Chain A
Amino acid sequence: VKKSIFTFCCFILSFSGAQAIPVKKTNFAELFAHASSVVGAQVIEVDPSAKTARVYGYPADGLSVFEARLRIGAVYKGNPPASGISVCFLRVPADPGVFIDLKVGSAYLLFLQNAEPVSLLSDVQNGAFQVDPLALRETAAFPSNRIEALFQRSSTSPNIEVVVKALQALAFVGTSNSLPVVEGLVSSTNDEVRLAAATAAVRLGDWKRIEDIVTFWEGRSYGNDGYIGFPDHNLASTSWATVGEVSAKEASPVVSRMLHQAKSTRIKRTLIQTLLSINDPQGVSAVAPFIEDADSRVAYEAYVTVMKLRGRPCVTPELFERDKAAIKDEIRKGCPQVK
C-alpha cells in the first residue's frame, strides 16, 4: 500500500507547479568508458503492459540483424487532460533524469554494460541516443570511429527531432570532418536545428559561429532578460556553455565587439565568461567598463574576470558590494600583476 501511495504521489508531483530539472550534458567519452558494447536498435513494437519493446538489434559486427526484447525501465502515461495519449519511455538507469520517448520505428544507439549480443538488450545500463533508422541500417557497425558517421547520416533525417539529436551528438563526438555537415544546417529555417548546428560548429572549432548563437538568442529574447526557449533545456544551456567555454585567442576581437553591443544581461555575462576562458590579458580593457554595469551580477563577474586576467585574487560578492567604490578605484588605477 505504501508503495502504491508513493507511486501515486510521484505521479501527482510530476504535474505540480515547480520542480528542479537536472541539466545534463552528454559525455560520450564517459559513456564509452563504461559501456563494453555499443549497439543500434530499432523499435518494432512497444508493449506498455509488459514494459517491453521488441527491437531489431544491429550488433558490432554489422553483419547479423537480431531480434530482442528491450525491457523498458519505466512506463508513464502522458498528461491525460492535455492529450489522452499513452507514451512509453526508455529510462536510462545510470542517468535517471533521462527518459527517451520510445516510438515504433524510432532507432537508438545503446550503450550497454554487457557484451552478450542478445541478452544485452535486456538492460540499457549506460545511455541511449536517438538516431535515424535508415542511417542505423546503413552504418550498422559501431566501433567508436563509426559513430560519427552514424550521426552525420542522421543529420539528414526528415525527422527534425533526430536531426537536432544528431547535431547535439556531433558537437561531442564529431571531428573537423563533421564541420561541413554541421555548417550546412546553420542556416536552417528551424530554430532548434539552427541553434544546435551553430553550437556544434563552435564546439568543433569554428568559433566565428559564436555570432550566430548570440544573434539567435537576441532574436528570441523577451522583455528585459527573458528568452523564449525550448522544452529541451539542454539545447539552450549547451549553447550558452559552448560560447562561455571558447578559449581560442583569435575569438577575442569578435567576443569583445559583441560584448560592447550586447544589451541583455545574459549575453553580457556569457561573453565576459568567454573572455575569461580565452585568458588573454588584452581582454581586461574590454571587460573593465562592465564593472560599472547597472546589473550587480554583470558588475561582479566583470570584476572577477579583470582580477583573474591580472592574476589577482578576488573577494566574495558581498565584499565587492560593500567596497565597490574602492575596488573600482583600484582597478581604474591598474593593479600590479602578481607574478
Chain B
Amino acid sequence: MKPGAEDFSWFFARWEPQVRRYLVWLEGDHSVIDDAAQETMISAFRYWETVKVLDRPQAWLFKVAGQRLGDAQEARRRLGVSTDPYELPDRSPPGARDEFSVHDDRLAILEAVRKLPPQQGAAIGLQVQHDLPLNEIADIMGVSTGSVKTHLHHARKALKLLLGEDEGG
C-alpha cells in the first residue's frame, strides 16, 4: 500500500482525531501531542496489515499512543526545553486560532487530570472520553480489570481533593 491510499486515508481521518482526544487528557503541550499522534499513526501505517483487520482498532491505537506519548515526553525532558504553547511568546501569528487557543472553561478540569499519576489519568480519559468498558481499558493499559477500578477510584478521589470539591459535588 502506498502512503495516502484510500483505505489508510479513511482510517487516518476516522481515528487520528480520536487518538488526539485521548492524548489531550494526559498532556497539555500541543507539540508533544502532535508528535505522539503522528508517531502513533506512523506505527499504524507500518503495521497496516495487522491494524486494518482489527474490529476495534482503538485498543491497539490507544495502547501505542500511550507509549509514543511517553517517548515524546521523554524527548522533551531530555532536550530541556518546553514546547508548551502557553510558555512561548507570540508562537502563533495574530488572529491564528487552533484547538488549544480556544479558551473553554469546560476544559479546565483537564489540567487537574494531567496532574494525576499517568495510570489514573489514562483510565479516566479512556472511560470518560471514549466510554470504553473496564475490560478494554484494562487491555489497553496492560493491567487487570480490578486495577482499572482502583485507578478510577483513586483518580476521582484525587480530583475532588485537587479541585476542592466535597463528596456531594
A and B associate: no
